[in-house]
């Protein structure tokens, strides 16, 4: 069993928001403070209100467009609908250390894939995708969302590597379960400082510029 856990994996599948970016919930919290909205009134909606949850699922699977989601969700919150999603994501920035790690893995021969639930499809820096990913799976473009098993299967297929040879990284623990059931090694992302060393171990290669061997 120890040898199985330590074997080097050949693929890396990874979430976008909250993994290759800064923390989404911190940005949502800042939006609530700015609009004088109780933070739990926002996050609690998705946890306890089935109508709000259905709205989010419809947005993530592409059956509801951004404007319609904003109109309906803003009415539930009592806020201005126009620019709601942009406001929620205003504090989200790229996590450069994580992006560099994925790029180094990709350049080093690891097959890489994005597996992301989306709030619309327009907030990804797609100009970076070619240097980061061999395959891309975005929920609103597929009509399904994590934790659907098919999202992870598609990620492995498009990266071009068997699922059991992959590592999967996500900031939400419940999104890790289907990946583990498919035989993937899973990493719960909380920070680049903890995730990158774990990926280096699982992929068997350095993923920081400082750790990379210098060329003669």
Written as tens digits, the pLDDT of the chain (216 aa) is: 344 456 899 999 999 999 999 999 999 999 999 999 988 888 888 889 999 999 999 999 999 999 999 999 999 999 999 999 999 999 999 999 999 999 999 999 999 999 999 998 888 999 999 999 999 999 999 999 999 999 999 999 999 999 999 999 999 999 999 999 999 999 999 999 999 999 999 999 999 977 555 443
With contact defined as beta carbons under 8 Å apart, do 162 and 144 qualify? no
Confirm whether 210 is domain-assigned. no
Among candidate residues 88, 115, 140, the one where a domain is terminated: 88
Domain that holds residue 81: 24-88
212 within some domain: no
Q: Tokens 């920081």 correspond to what residue?
A: 208
Q: Which of 167, 11, 7, 16 is nearest to 92 (CA)?
A: 16
Report the 10 Å Cβ neighbour count for 94: 12
- Residue 188 sits in a domain whose CATH number is 3.40.50.1000
Note the pLDDT of residue 6. 62
Q: Domain tally for the chain?
A: 2
């Amino acid at each position: 069993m120890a040898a199985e856990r330590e074997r080097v994996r050949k693929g890396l599948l990874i979430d976008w928001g909250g993994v290759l970016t800064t923390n989404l919930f911190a940005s949502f919290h800042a939006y609530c403070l700015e609009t004088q909205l109780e933070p739990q009134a926002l996050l609690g909606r998705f946890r306890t209100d089935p109508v709000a949850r259905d709205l989010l699922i419809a947005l993530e699977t592409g059956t509801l467009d951004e404007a319609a989601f904003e109109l309906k969700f803003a009415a539930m919150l009592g806020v201005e609908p126009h620019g709601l999603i942009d406001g929620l994501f205003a504090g989200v920035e790229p996590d450069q250390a994580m992006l560099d790690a994925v790029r180094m893995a990709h350049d080093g021969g690891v097959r890489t894939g994005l597996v992301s639930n989306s709030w619309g499809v327009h907030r990804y820096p797609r100009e970076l995708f070619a240097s980061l990913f061999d395959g891309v799976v975005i929920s609103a473009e597929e009509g399904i969302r994590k934790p659907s098993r098919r999202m992870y299967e598609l990620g492995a297929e498009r990266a071009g590597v068997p699922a059991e040879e992959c590592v999967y990284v996500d900031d939400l623990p419940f999104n890790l379960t289907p990946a583990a059931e498919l035989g993937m090694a899973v990493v719960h992302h909380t920070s680049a400082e903890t995730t990158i060393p774990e990926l280096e171990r699982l992929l068997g290669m350095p993923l920081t510029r400082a750790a990379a061997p210098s060329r003669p």
